[in-house]
Structure formats: structure tokens, C-alpha cells
Amino acid sequence: MGFFDKVGKVALGSRLRLMTASITDDAAKIYELYGVDFMPKWFPVFYVLTEEREITITEIANEIGHSQPSVSKIVQEMITAGLVEENEKTNDKRRNIVVLTKQGLLLSKKIKLQCIDVEAAVESLIAESNHNLWAALEEWEFLLEQKSLFKRVNEQKKTRESQYVQIVEYEYKYQDAFKALNVEWISTYFEMEEADYKALDHPKEYILDKGGKIFVALYQNEPVGVCAMIKMQDENYDFELAKMAVSPKAQGKNIGWLLGQTIVENAKKQGAKKLYLESNTILKPAINLYHKLGFQKISGLATPYKRCNIQMELLV
């Protein structure tokens, strides 16, 4: 196990596969020990059939958490081995009901005795160990159902890469980036409108001089994200979170979250009570981000944008 000590937890999959291969090899030997001509991979399907006299392939797949094609293949192998047969009593060919044959039923009695001994052996192994692997597996399965290993790694990647993102206040040198990043995403999903050109061509007059701010996200000193907080004339709202854009090449680095947090924090510092934003539900990642920031859906306000089909607010 020196390799795994050296590589560490990044080799989790490889280590589990190695253990699985070892246990599977032993399982084949155990079947031979009991004089049972049986493949270990058949066991989940076979076990379900011993409990249910008639069951469909789809129902078996749902029960054991395997794919339907995988279960179909195993069933066909067991039919060839003479352990399973399709139920000819039903006329519904779509249901694929299968049952154990007489040979399968006889074999199930042998396997039940074998299971008693295997259960006892596993219990003794648990008793000898400092950690209950069976209980740990149940816990890990539950946790991975809540959030997969892929999602967990992706979160860590975003966190690590976001450390290299710097949020700075707008300067004139970022005007081209402010416009280009917004034009890129707007043109991808919609069409540029008059209100867009006002804000993007004249950010100083339209946003900054009226008491708003613009923030720029730099990654390796390159502007890859922007967002504005625009002072609102509506007495119910202080600022609008607007013109958020992140370059496609820089997505996955938490940039939208960092920009959004920066807007919220700056609004608080200025004594704001409510923030407002407009968006479109086709932009699912953006809507998820706004919900994560704490924004809630509202309706009824006038908007200059044809593309707006959702309005949201945040109490700060």
C-alpha cells in the first residue's frame, strides 16, 4: 500500500477498484467452495428474483440501482445458464417479466446457506477492525447522493482559482472590456437594445456620475468580468445590480459570485436597504447565482428591456 500512502486521497477510485477486484475474486472462489456455478455480478438480480416470484427488468433495475440495459444483459446470461426464464403467462410483451426456473430455485437454497456464512465472516471482519466499513459506506453513499464527488471537486477548483481573481473599481482603461464582455453575452442570447448602448457607451455619465459604481474582475491581470450597481430613481430601491458579465473563458472561477458579493457589500456600506435586478429565465446559471446571493422574485416594475421576464430584489 506504499503507492496509496504516497499518492494520497486522490487515488480513492483506484484504491476502491483494487479492493473491489480482490473481493470479487474471493466471491468467485466462495461460489466454487459451495459447489455453485454462478457469476458474482449476477447476485443482486438473482437475490431480487428469490424475493419476488414475478418482476420486470425495469423493476429489478430500480431496486438494485443498476441501468436497465445492464440488468437486461445479466438476465440474458442467467437465461442462458438455465436459472431464469421469461414468464410466458403474460401477453404484455413490453413488460419483460422474468422468474427463476426450477434450477434457479434449487440454486437459491444453496446460496442462502452460503449467505449465512458470508454474513458471519463480514461481521467478524467488522469486529476485528477499528472502523466499521459497512457503516462508513452507508454514510458516504448518503453524502455523495447529496453532493457528488464531481461537484465537490468542482467547488474546490472554483475556490482555488478564485484566489487569483482580483475585484477592482472601474477605471477608464476598462471601458472597452466593460462593453465587450456585455455585448458578448447579450448578443449570444438576445439583441442589443437602446438602454444597453446608453450604459455601455457612456458608463461615466449613465452610471458613475449618478452615484453608481462599476467593478471589474481581473484574472492574471486581465479583465474577465464586470458588474455595475446603478443608482435608482425608484423610491423603493436604492441600487440596481446590472450589466454583470463574465468571459466564457473565465467561467468556473466563482467570478460572478465574487462580483455579486462586492456589489452587495458596497451597497450596504452606502446605507442601501434594497437592491433590484432584471434578467431572463433562459439564463439559468445567472438566476441560480442571484438566488444564492439572496435575491427573491418580484413583479410589477416597468422595464426598458424587451428581454426582461424576471425581476428580483434583495433586502440588505
How does pLDDT run across 213-251, given as a tens digit for each residue?
Answer: 999 999 989 999 999 999 998 888 999 999 999 999 998
The pairing of beta strand 239-246 with beta strand 274-279 = parallel
CA atoms within 13 A on the CB side of 149: 7
**Per-position DSSP letters for 188-221, written without gaps between them:** HHS---HHHHHHHH-HHHHTGGGT-EEEEEEETT
d(CA 301, CA 234): 10
Question: Phi and psi at residue 80, in whole multiples of 5°?
Answer: -60, -35
- In CATH, 34-146 is 1.10.3720.10: no
Nearest to 90 by CA among 55, 60, 62: 55
In which band, very low, low, confident or very high, does the pLDDT at 144 lie, cut at 50, 70 and 90? Answer: very high
Asked if residue 92 has pLDDT above 60, the reply is no
Other beta carbons within 10 angstroms of residue 19's beta carbon come to: 11
Residues of the chain with CATH 3.40.630.30: 159-315
Comparing 274 with 9, the larger pLDDT belongs to 274
**C-alpha span between 196 and 260 (Å, rounded):** 20
pLDDT in tens, 158-169: 888 888 899 999
* pLDDT over threshold 60, residue 90: no
Cell numbers 437459491 correspond to 108
Per-residue pLDDT averaged across 249-260, rounded? 92
> Which pLDDT value is given to residue 2?
78
Is pLDDT above 90 for 95?
no
Burial of 251 (0-12, 13-18, 19+ CB in 10 A): middle
Per-residue model confidence (pLDDT) at position 54: 80
Which whole number is the average pLDDT over 114-125?
94
In this predicted structure, the answer to whether residue 263 has a pLDDT above a threshold of 60 is yes
The segment(s) of the chain belonging to CATH 1.10.10.10 are 34-146
For 224, 233, 267, the CA distances from 255, given in Å and listed in that order, are 8, 28, 18
Map residue 275 onto helix, strand or coil: strand
pLDDT of residue 186: 96
Q: Kindly give the interhelix angle for 43-51 and 68-80, rounded to the nearest 10 degrees.
A: 80
Compute the average pLDDT of residues 120-144. Answer: 93
- The rounded distance, in Å, linking the Cα atoms of 104 and 100 is 5
Fold of 159-315: Aminopeptidase (3.40.630)
DSSP states of 58-100: HHHHHHHT--HHHHHHHHHHHHHTTSEEE-TT---TTS-EEEE
pLDDT attached to residue 297: 96
Report pLDDT for 89: 58
Q: What is the mean pLDDT of the chain?
A: 92
Identify residue 152 by its one-letter amino acid code: R
43-51 and 57-64 are packed helices; what angle lies between their axes, rounded to 10 degrees?
110
Query: For the whole prediction, is pTM greater than 0.75?
Result: no
What mean pLDDT comes out for the span 269-287? 95
- The DSSP result for 1-40, as a single string, is -HHHHHHGGGGHHHHHHHHHHHHHHHHHHHHHHTT----G
Indicate whether 91 pLDDT > 60. no
Q: Which residue has the higher pLDDT, 54 or 25?
A: 25
